[in-house]
Amino acid sequence: MQQAQTQGLTAPLAQAVAATPPPDQLPPAVKAAIQVSAPAPAEPVALAAPAPAAEPTASAKPQEPARDPSRGAVTNLPLPRFVSLKTGEGNARRGPGLTHRIDWVFTRAGMPLRITAEYEHWRRIEDADGEGGWVHYSLLSGVRTVMVEQDMAEFRAQPDLRADVLFQAEMGVIGKVVECLNGWCRISVEGDKGWVPEDALWGVDPGEDIE
pLDDT in tens, 58-67: 556 667 678 7
Mean pLDDT of 63-90: 91
- What's the Cα-to-Cα distance from 9 to each of 15, 18, 153, rounded to whole Å? 9, 11, 140
Residue 37 pLDDT greater than 50, yes or no: no
Residue-range domain boundaries for the chain: 81-141, 145-202
The conformational region for residue 120 under phi > 0 = left, psi -120 to 50 = alpha, else beta, is: left
CB count in 10 Å sphere of residue 176: 18
CA 88 – CA 48 distance, rounded (Å): 82
Mean per-residue pLDDT over the chain, rounded: 83
Architecture of domain 81-141: Roll (2.30)
Q: Which CATH number fits domain 145-202: 3.40.190.10, 2.30.30.40, 3.30.200.20, 3.40.50.10860?
A: 2.30.30.40
Same fold, 81-141 and 145-202: yes
Mean pLDDT of 39-44: 52
Name the nearest CA neighbour of 133 among 144, 147, 119.
119
Residue 131: predicted pLDDT: 94
Residue 10 pLDDT greater than 70, yes or no: no
Name the pLDDT band for 21 (thresholds 50, 70, 90). low
The distance from CA 102 to its chain's CA centroid, rounded to whole angstroms, is 28
Residue 4: predicted pLDDT: 43
Name the pLDDT band for 168 (thresholds 50, 70, 90). very high
Specify the range with the lowest mean pLDDT, choosing from 20-24, 64-68, 78-82.
20-24
Mean pLDDT of 35-53: 53
